[in-house]
Structure 1
């Protein structure tokens, strides 16, 4: 049996974690010198409240020791393990998992750099878990997920890049060029790194930009697994979901709220849509 592991940045809904028996290893969230486990002993409500009060939380990667404990527990009775993790360009979590794997050469463990973040990563985890449930081999799942990792599209609307910049996930140049009042910033990932795609004025225009982008690039969301999530703005999520489902009919839509680690960088309002491109 292949056991699927990911980190808390994947922002998976609880029902998917339970349905597919996915093991989620939490990143650490650090607030005013105190360390918490993402989604375990801290909630996003606390993160948003801290941000409103001018306190900037920080995150810390999963340690090799944490992965050794998880890998050992899952594989000690002969099961194999596949870990699908946050982009190595955005966190050291992937490298921590590789170090843990190298300490356990007697176990069958594979580690994948998703080159994704938040629910883009989450879609890959769900696909891996479905394959595992269908009895696919570790090698088959790894090959397919690495192929899909090259095709995951992220289209994320931010109110501000202040927290992404302060968290060291984008350059000062990108931040300064996007730091214009009332502009919504649309970001994506390229080769596992966050980049600014465009800037538009107003949330309705930002959603229209996404739908237009999908249409103009002939990106077909029909009969596909699609993810939509939000940070502290459920109404915005409903608007994006409505606009996308008016145009497309996905086979399955995964809806979630970002976790504490991602909320640290998203700030008080963000929404995103994620899917696999054909090319």
Structure 2
């Protein structure tokens, strides 16, 4: 019996990752200009950011229930076990739907081994959990031990990010509207993190370079053994700033392993262009 890893497109991993590591992808749905698209399948992140720049207001919805069920069923019918590493339940209904599909599978296939993990993570925070799960698979651990280790990585994943304007997140209900503010004219940048799966604004900082410097400071305060970790950076169509942050981190901590990628269409629809997000572990896990 093989163990198959499943995740959704909110993990913001590059498409080649899924292909190279045999990870199954569940696309979230993006709605823009009265059309529905599948994230990473029928719409790409740069297209979403262009729509936003031209005044569109994309909305998103969870992965289709039948897609989730069919994915689980194909794993079971092949005689394998599956672990779905899911987008935070605080930010999407996909986790709850996948639990219902898991229950249906178990009713129809009583011996099925399908585990659904609420990572309480988003973007490449979730993606890094998937990355570590792929590495753990190589150790051929028992199913239950693998599940517990993936949960541990999820629990210890830090998210530090900035957006150009909190209005995008507020309009989508991802942060409290009372927390949103318009700071563009004053060059004020909000800094946020994730707490129990929710997006929480923590600071307001004047200037992009100061925000990046503060992100590195928080990384030093919260991280452990950073030089040996894989660090992830996602961006809202702003690779230049992502690479600038990578350089600061490399100079400060000597990190060598990075995953840098654009926000996917689903997460990017809510975070907006100019978002920069940093992900790392706050504990050393073996």
TM-score (structure 2 length as normaliser):
0.93
- Does 74-83 or 245-254 show the bigger shift? 245-254
CA distance in 1, matches of 2:144, 2:223: 32
Equivalent runs, 1:107-256 vs 2, <5 Å: 107-176=112-181, 181-217=186-222, 219-250=224-255, 252-256=257-261
The offset of 1:104, in angstroms, is 0.8
Report the secondary structure of 1:222's partner residue: helix
Q: 1:61 matched to which residue of 2?
A: 62
Partner in structure 2 of residue 102 of structure 1? 103
Give the direction of change, closer, same or farther, for the CA distance of 1:111–1:216 in structure 2 (3 Å limit): closer
Aligned to 1:271: 276
| Residue 19 (structure 2) pairs with residue 18 (structure 1) | yes
> Equivalent residues in 2 for 1:35-54 (5 A)?
35-54=36-55
> How far apart are the structure 2 equivalents of 1:92 and 1:19?
28
* Structure 1, unaligned runs of 5 or more: none
Q: Is the 8 A contact 2:166 2:181 kept in 1?
A: no
Seen in structure 2, the aligned counterparts of structure 1 residues 186 and 104 have a Cα distance that, compared at 3 Å, is same
Q: Please tell me whether the aligned partners of residues 232 and 268 of structure 1 are also in contact (alpha carbons under 8 angstroms).
A: yes
1:80 aligns with 81
Q: CA deviation at 1:127?
A: 1.1
> Are the aligned partners of 1:20 and 1:130 in contact in 2 as well (CA < 8 Å)?
no
1:262 to 255, 263, 267: 267
Q: Is the 8 A contact 1:2 1:137 kept in 2?
A: no
Contact 2:171–2:177 (8 Å) recurs in 1:
no
When structure 1 is superposed on structure 2, of 245-254 and 234-243 the one drifting more is 245-254
Moved over 3 A (4+): 176-181, 216-220
Deviating more after overlay: 104-113 vs 16-25: 16-25
Counterpart position of 2:6: 5
Cα gap change, 1:195 to 1:179, in 2 (>3 Å): farther
Paired with 2:247 and 2:255, the residues of 1 have a C-alpha distance of 12
TM-score by length of 1: 0.95
Cα offsets for 1:135-156 (capped at 9, x unmatched): 2222111101112211110011
The aligned counterpart of 2:71 is 70
